[in-house]
Amino acid sequence: MSGYDYDLYVIGGGSAGVRMARMSATYGARVALAEERFLGGTCVNIGCVPKKLMVFASHFREDFHDAAGYGWEVGARTFDWPRLIANKDKEIARLNGIYAKLLAGAGVTVHEGRAILLDPHSVSVKGKSYTAERIVVAAGGRPTRPTEPGNELGYVSDDLFCLPEMPKKILMVGGGYISVEFAGIFNGLGADTALIHRGPKLLRGFDDDVRGFLGEELAKKGIRLIFEQIVQRTEKVAGGLQVTFSGGSQERFDAVVYATGRAANTEGLGLEEAGVTLAPNGAIPVDSFSRTAVPSIFALGDLTDRVQLTPVAIAEAMALSRTLYLGEPTPMDHSNIPSAVFSQPPVASVGLTEAEARETLGALDIYRSSFRPLRHTLTGNREKTLMKLVVERASQRVVGVHMVGIDTPEILQGIAVAIKAGANKRHFDATLGIHPTSAEEFVTMREPLPEPKRQSAE
């Protein structure tokens, strides 16, 4: 047993910190964890989980409309924002309780408060000092805003989960995950919704066909997309905010939301004092074993700015606890991470985009299909589905799979297993479809697009 108060001290009770603490305690370490706000972190409290509940809530409007084509008469519809928020809060409180129980059950001591590093082996929480053989920093990230005048008048995603009432006219700023997800939520709930993005297409980093297709789908649903402009100035006016766009026009909104990226929560943690040098963007540089430059200090999750996704943070924590407390050196594998954007329709991807594959692999076979899903043949809903396979021609390995449409994230999770296992196009072709589904299209696409004539799906 080490001469320290604990074998491991974890700073931050989010997805990475809780998993690190719990697994390490299960493997026999004496563990304490400090959390200053809420157990479960961003994902459980002000991120993935409540966001997905709000996506469900917002999709009913379309479902009620679609029901008519199937013979249903749906009566008058009203939406009660405070009821949604109250029910969501109840569920999140239940999850907080589960997290607390899991930690207690594993024997982890929880300190409520902000932990600050004093040196490579000690932290201070609410004026009390604790020593530990190892310290894991997993304090997460926070939303950032651009610096144009008046931007502080807008909300960030943290604020959207507890607004007392729903804005009737809203501007989402940014073309990334959070902006397109909340544009879908507010549009679905009936708000007049616009999205402004400085680039020419949504979701930079995703496959180009997906980016164009999603833009068209969002526009069909009534979201006003403003590309290649920024918010130049925001001013408070009677009953709302007056926004001046870089194109020169002005418009009044009830609310403006900045979804322009997130920064590492490393400020004031005592990291530099303990010897950890931060990257220019404030993130903690780590190696594949989540080691910082200080041998006793490790870092996990969003504040390392590797890939800001909950399952990635959890996998990093599992790998590190196995390495440190099971004696099984486990580097984190960041390849082929599937991800989904819960826009409406949703997007999901695993592996390389066509552009990335062309750059790194050379000749490709591209299979692409877009169609109206069976569900919408009776509804009049014009939503379409896009599916795309990126195949390395020489090896026939499927190196990228991309989809936009109903149930996309559920479908891509299974496909991601095949990609991780190294599946090639012959495996896809030999797999029988489940009929009738949209997903079966992934195993029935036979003709690659003729390369010279290939046109984007936009």
Q: Note whether 344 binds ligand NDP by CB under 6 A.
A: no
Residue span 245-284 as binding mask against ligand NDP, x where in contact by CB under 6 A, dash where not:
--------------xxxx----------------------
Q: Which long-range contacts (CB under 8 A, 24 or more apart) does 303-306 make?
A: 303/137, 303/138, 303/139, 303/140, 303/141, 303/264, 303/265, 303/266, 304/264, 305/264, 305/279, 305/281, 306/332, 306/334
Q: Nearer to ligand NDP by C-beta: 18 or 341?
A: 341
Interacting stretch for ligand NDP, rule CB under 6 A, among 18-26, 177-185, 354-362, 422-430?
A: 177-185
Residues 90-129 that bind ligand NDP (CB under 6 A): none
User: What is residue 142's three-state secondary structure?
Assistant: strand
CB of 69 to ligand NDP, least distance (A): 30
179, 265, 266, 379: which one contacts ligand NDP (CB under 6 A)?
179
Residue closer to ligand NDP by CB (options 199, 329) is 199
CB of 262 to ligand NDP, least distance (A): 4
End-to-end CA distance of the chain: 62
By CB under 6 A, residue 176 contacts ligand NDP: yes
Contact pattern for ligand NDP over residues 204 through 223, marking x by CB under 6 A: x-------------------
How far, in Å, CA of 182 to CA of 107, rounded? 38
SS3 88: helix
Q: Give me the least distance between CB of 342 and ligand NDP, in Å please.
A: 5
Report the nearest approach of ligand NDP to the CB of residue 358 (Å).
Answer: 20
Let me know if 197 is a catalytic residue: no
Give the binding range for ligand NDP (CB under 6 A) out of 14-22, 191-199, 241-249, 377-385: 191-199
Q: From CA 367, how far away is CA 389, in angstroms rounded?
A: 5
- Distance from the Cα of residue 211 to its chain's centroid: 16
What minimum distance in Å lies between the beta carbon of 267 and ligand NDP? Answer: 18
- Check binding of 199 to ligand NDP (CB under 6 A): yes
Contacts of 184 (CB under 8 A, 6+ apart): 55, 58, 218, 221, 223, 342, 343, 344
**357 touches ligand NDP (CB under 6 A):** no
Query: Which of 264, 299, 437 shows the shortest CA–CA distance to 11?
Result: 299
Q: How far is the CB of 231 from ligand NDP (least distance, A)?
A: 8
Structure-derived torsion over alpha carbons of residues 369, 219, 60, 205, reported in degrees to the nearest 10: 60
Find the residue with minimal CB distance to ligand NDP. 176
Say if CB 191 and CB 167 are below 8 A apart: yes
* Among positions 65, 114, 142, 198, the unique one binding ligand NDP when judged by CB under 6 A: 198
Q: Judged by CB under 6 A, does residue 146 bind ligand NDP?
A: yes
Complete DSSP assignment for 97-123: HHHHHHHHHHT-EEEES-EEEEETTEE
| Residue numbers 229-248 binding ligand NDP by CB under 6 A | 230
Q: Report yes or no: 124 and 5 within 8 Å, Cβ to Cβ.
A: no
Number of residues that bind ligand NDP (CB under 6 A): 23
d(CA 430, CA 424) in angstroms, rounded, equals 10
Minimum separation from the CB atom of position 116 to ligand NDP (A): 26
Q: CB under 8 Å to 424, separation ≥6 — which residues?
A: 391, 395, 396, 397, 398
Catalytic residue set: 435
Give residues in contact with ligand NDP (CB under 6 A).
146, 174-179, 181, 197-199, 204, 230, 259-262, 308-309, 339-342
